[in-house]
Structure 1
Amino acid sequence: MLETGRSNKFQDFFWEARSRILACYVILILIFVAFSIPAFRQVLFSRINERVHEDLHEQMDRFQEFAEAQRIELAESSRSDSDEIFQEFLFEEFLSRQLPEDDMFLIALRDGERYQSSPKALPKPLQAGSPLLNYLANAEQTLEGEEDFPDPEIDSVLYVAEPVEIDSESEWVFVVAHTTAGERAEAVDATLVIVEVMLAAVLVASILAWAVAGRVLAPLRLLLSTALTISESDLNRRIPVQGSGELAELATTFNSMLDRLQAAFVSQRSFIDDAGHELRTPITIIQGHLELMSDDPEEQQETLSLVNDELDRMTRFVEDLLLLAKAERPDFLMLETVDVSALTQSLYSKAKGLANRDWRLEGETKGQLVCDRQRITQAVMNLTQNAVQHTRENAIIALGSSRHKNNIRFWVRDTGEGITLDNQEKIFERFARISNRNRPSEGAGLGLSIVRAIAEAHGGQVELFSRPGIGSTFTLVIPLDPPSKRLSYEQDPNR
């Protein structure tokens, strides 16, 4: 039931993510459509007005050219028509020759009244007695403008009015007008078509976006399904990495996380098994001797001594485990400024008391080092103890220190049996032991792990050079500038 619930949650998450992507995509498109349609409509209306104005001026220019031609013809002829007769002839002749386009009206006004028009039928705003026509009839100069009307069949009237000056007793005005209802209705129809097309495009784009989002999110879906199948007992599945980009990087990162997780689980199991084995042995020994202990005082004393030894070994083992666990904490080190030469002398003095060996101090460097004196001492003592365990009596064990570039190097060299290359790669692992035909392995195999933990806590490392049959050299490399996150000059009162 728990797995089913988790599966449903992940599936819901996938669908939710896909739906959110689609929703955002559609909302952005609709916002674009909502702003673009009115703008498109306004652009169409502006273009209509521009074209109508051009037509009005073109028609007015045509009339003026015709009037000028008639004047010239009259002047060159021998006719003696009066100005009034000429005006009537001019407008009648011009209007009879014109066939205006739809919604365009040519009107000749005489003394404020309509004299003639083309076409004959005029819309209400241009009929005799209308306010607009009365206004245009009184034009003393060129008038041009636009008048809006509530009638949907009219909408707006664009006009140009030009007074015609000929020596006569009558006042003539020529008007070219155009209603915009027809063009604007066509523009509205075109806008509606555009809206329908864009909505259809949004629908098609949404379907495609849904499919594309599913394809893009496929690696996430695979990641989720892989995560559901992962358990502590099965960490072998990995996500196939395809192509490049963020999702490929995500898959690579997820696989790397699984690698680290699997390594951590393996290390944890190994650690628990090894720790259990190390604790089980002394417990078994203690339990066996206590069960077989007789009433003999001497035997009881031997048994108690053995029990104390095993308990001491268990105590050291637990303390080593606690130290390794604490090594990952920021407060593991208590740093101070240490004189390297004095520290080297102190290490040599302590090492000489470990066993009967040919102890030698091969070198010591001068200078200051910011480090944890007690941790460095513990690490070097572990190295010397390791050298003692793998050398014979009176064998050479040398200590020393030197400076190389930005590092201080503490080394322990012995003339023991040496370590094979295969063992060198795993000797610093927890519970690692090297088989030795001449002497049994002592300890739990945590000494060199502690050395490495101390070195890494200082931002350094442990180097090993060894040749079987010749000996080994362990070098503790400590940088002069340890990582800032490790710096702490607080003194621990318990140390």
Structure 2
Amino acid sequence: MLGRPGWSRATRSIHTRILVSYIVLIVLSGGLCAVAIHEVLMIRLESRIAEAVQQEFLEIDRLVTDGRDPRTGAAFTSVAAVFDVYFRRNVPSQEEAILAFADGRLQHASMGRFPVDRVPDSAMQVFATSARTYTVTDGRPPLDRFDTSRGSAYYGILPLRVGASTGAFVVTILPVAQRREIADLQRYAVGAVLGVVVLASACAWLVTGRVLGPVRQLTETARLISKSDLTRRIPVARQDEAAEMARTFNAMLDRLEAVFRREREFLLDAGHELRGPITISLGNLGLLQQQLPDDDEARGTIAVVTDELERMARIVGDLHILADVPHPHFLQPERIDLELFVAELAVKLSALAPRQWLVDELGEGLLVADRHRLTEAVINLADNAVRHTADTDTVSIGAAVRGEDVHIWVRDTGCGIEYDDQPYIFDRFRRGARAHLRYPGTGLGLAIVRAVAQAHGGRVDLSSRPGVGSTFTLVIPRQGREGELGQDTDR
């Protein structure tokens, strides 16, 4: 069962499809050639049989045309006399039988070299009556067949007349040996086709592998890019269409890397430049608040400004995190004991706000992941749950190993999320339609959660019903992407 996805993917690959098409073409070509060769050989066989039959007909026809017995010089007076002379002077060839019928009766039968002992009665009846029913056109009698225990036999009938007597001269050939040779040739041809298929398949596999090499490199590079590495490039060592495709792709990567680098540098520079003024402003506001007299209005204004500056500081921090996501060293994976990790998270989360904090399941086993980033993501989920719940609501955390993934979830019994907001809840600076009425925020917390999950090669699942509550689930591969830190984690 585990091998099916990989096998299905292999059968759908271009490499496999080209190879299969090539093999099918070779098999069809070989099959058509074998059929064509068989037909040609059978036509040539029938042609040789017809020539052999015609040769016998010419010999007896010369006797009838000459009209005299070569030994006595006397004229032939009957068909039977012609047959007597012929059978004394001629012996059938291999796999050939000669029969002579005079006035409807069998007079001579030379079957010593014929592959079967007797001719079927139905054929003998046809031969006996053939002197009256057969006609010769263009001096060449037609070939017919009759069935025997060793295959079909070919025969030709030459009607004869000498004086008042009539007869039929029959030559029949059963080409057992020649058919065996054709069958052997067919078997050799099938073996040759199979050998050609195997050899050509191996050559086609190597050739298509070399041709599709740049495509595989492009695919691998694209896969690595999807894992936040824009430094990879496809090596170009040839001058063909594939090399031109690789160069075009590399140029596109250069442009993308430049854009992402400028975006990250801008976010980092902006955050760095903003942190100083924000810190100075917060410090001066604190000093000003201490020096002011008991002026409630002024203190209220200072509190509002301080709150906004602190919110701005959180935005700057969140932007720093999002800017670091594409960096190859964003994650620092390590082996994490899942049960201990969830227990530590439960202690940390319970300090966020007074709620009914529960642990659904601790989970068991090891997880390869970045402990700090996962903690940050789960705290963001818990903070989001706190904002959507009251003091009497329940917020729970849990984890479980399911197949090759680890599921870590935060569940609450709060107000839930409107169905219209759910498709966009993880977008940057996107908040629910009524979120601004319930709590202040930047709209970056869930975007960070999704970025952390994707950086681990996972995802975030949401299940929520308005008025019932929400469940956010981090789905993370147990081994990390590309099996980080090796493949030796135990269940």
TM-score of the superposition, structure 1-length normalised? 0.49
Q: Please tell me whether Structure 1 or Structure 2 has the larger radius of gyration of its CA atoms.
A: 1
